[in-house]
Amino acid sequence: MQQRSLKNVLVSGGMGFIGSNFIRFMLKNNPDFSGRIVNLDVLTYAGNPANLADIDAAYQGSRYFFEQAGIGDRQIVENIFKKYEIDTVVHFAAESHVDRSILGPEGFIRSNIIGTYTLLEIARDCWASRRDVLFHHISTDEVYGSLGSEGRFTETSPYDPRSPYSASKASSDHLVMAWGSTYGFPVTLSNCSNNYGPCQFPEKLIPLSILNMIEGKPLPVYGDGKNIRDWIHVDDHNRAVWTILTKSPAGEKYNIGGENEWENIRLLHTLIDITARKAGLDTEKLRASVTFVKDRPGHDRRYAIDCSKIKKQLGWNQAVPFEEGLGRTVDWYLANPAWISAVRSGEYRNWIKRNYEER
Ligand code: NAD
Ligand code: DAU
């Protein structure tokens, strides 16, 4: 099996949910990585520097470097590539929330499609004919569309995106794979199912529900609550990404999933039980606050990932049992009231001003 070694890794979108967990895993919990990470993030509403405050304190200027810029800022990013002698790109940066894409698709087209195109071109220019480098693109199972009650998405399932978000991610997947085929440019791609874990912005189902429980607010459920998602802990996703970076040949595409399908309403009831127990809240009152609301337009019914390829070819496996992972996630939000109030008040957006510009 191929074994790549990584020295200078550019992580785009590293202040977001999955990217920040990836950087922490790489620098703190991955003894097999001794290189440097450059976190390139423009800091949209979803980019929260507090997600990496510990990493910033421990590694900034030695193994960790934060650069605030958009992936579409060609000249700036090209300079960053050259300055840090980047040999690996892990491309997380994107607009990521389906509901926001329905309300306003433009930013999704700009960041997810044009941004990915620009980052690809910068890497292609800077790397020229080098083949010991890698551009890994992080994508979603949503590109495959919606399943009925049977079957799972494989790497050869046809693309059938149904929201502006998934259409923009599908476009970016096609660009990445086309750059590989046409230019012989070294790319890999992964399509992952729904992630959960610490530092997720409270617009997504699990953190929104946990925070609303703590704050005594209603718990909105779209439609009949019977849509199904395949949940995976963010650490399992990030270990899969590491496995691909180090072991995959260029040109390959992998599905990553939890093999863990839950109807939204059943998931919410389980989350209520866990949160009630840990936060000392009343289960019955929490159940009574579940509120069925108008469905998301074009709401995909079911996602389920067949991830046998990465298991068989690269030896990856999930390691976090779901209810344990949910419990740890609830613990994290309960242990971080300052993070929550900074996000709720918008104060988190001043973090850079306070911590960088005043240094
Ligand atoms: P997120 O919204 O939490 O974070 C996105 C990050 O990207 C933010 O820090 C934001 O500031 C940054 N960003 C956005 N546009 C940018 C731009 N133009 N230039 C530079 N930075 C920019 O997202 P997430 O949930 O962590 O998702 C990360 C990636 O994983 C996305 O590509 C998403 O499509 C994919 N993904 C997410 C999930 C999931 O369940 N969250 C599942 C599968 C795949
Ligand atoms: O499948 C991977 C995708 O998972 C990622 O590509 C996306 O970036 C990520 O946001 C996520 O998309 P979803 O739309 O599945 O996640 P969300 O948390 O928004 O919703 C999960 C399910 O819960 C979905 O069926 C909609 C429903 N929902 C969501 C919210 C926010 C509710 O019922 N109520 C809610 O308040």
Q: What is the pLDDT of residues 153-210, one digit of tens each?
A: 999 999 999 999 999 999 999 999 999 999 999 999 999 999 999 999 999 999 999 9
DSSP code of residue 7? S
Judge whether 270 lies within some domain. no
Q: Using the predicted structure, report yes or no on whether residue 359 has a pLDDT greater than 70.
A: no
User: Which ligand approaches the C-alpha of residue 14 most closely?
Assistant: 1
Q: Mind listing the pLDDT tens digit for each residue in 121-147?
A: 999 999 999 999 999 999 999 999 999
Give CA 130 to chain center in angstroms.
Answer: 28
Q: Please name every residue paired with 217 in a beta bridge, in sequence order, or none if there are none.
A: none
Residue 65 CA, ligand 2 centroid: distance in Å? 31
Partners of 114 in the beta sheet? Answer: none
Dig out the tokens for 113 from the structure: 């499609």
- Output the pLDDT for position 358: 57
User: Is residue 351 very low, low, confident or very high in pLDDT (cuts 50, 70, 90)?
Assistant: confident
Are residues 246 and 95 in contact, defined by beta-carbon separation less than 8 angstroms?
no
pLDDT at res. 357: 66
Q: Does residue 64 belong to any structural domain of this protein?
A: yes
Dist. CA 153 → ligand 1 center (Å): 22
Of the ligands numbered here, which is closest to the C-alpha atom of 206?
A: 2
Q: Is the pLDDT of residue 343 over 60?
A: yes
Report CA torsion sign: 70, 75, 76, 78: positive
The answer as to whether 219 is a domain residue is no
Which of 25 and 357 is assigned the larger pLDDT? 25
Alpha helices in the chain (DSSP H): 17-28, 53-59, 74-84, 98-103, 106-108, 116-127, 164-183, 205-214, 234-247, 264-279, 283-288, 308-314, 322-335, 337-345, 351-352
pTM of this structure: 0.98
**Domain of 309, in residue numbers:** 8-196+232-260+304-321+346-357
User: Would you say residue 276 has pLDDT above 70?
Assistant: yes
In a domain, 137, yes or no: yes
| Contact 50 CB / ligand 1 (< 6 Å) | no
Structural domains counted in the chain: 1
pLDDT grade for 355, boundaries at 50, 70 and 90? confident
Let me know: does 12 contact 112? Beta carbons within 8 Å: no
In a domain, 226, yes or no: no
Chain-wide mean pLDDT for the chain?
Answer: 97
Q: Which residues contact 250 (CB under 8 A, 6 or more apart)?
A: 131, 134, 180, 186, 187, 188
Catalytic annotation on 165?
A: yes
Q: What CATH number has the domain bearing residue 142? A: 3.40.50.720
Please give the average per-residue pLDDT across 74-79, as a whole number: 98
The answer to whether position 288 is within a domain reads no
Asked whether residue 147 is domain-assigned, the answer is yes
Tens of pLDDT, residues 288-298: 999 999 999 99
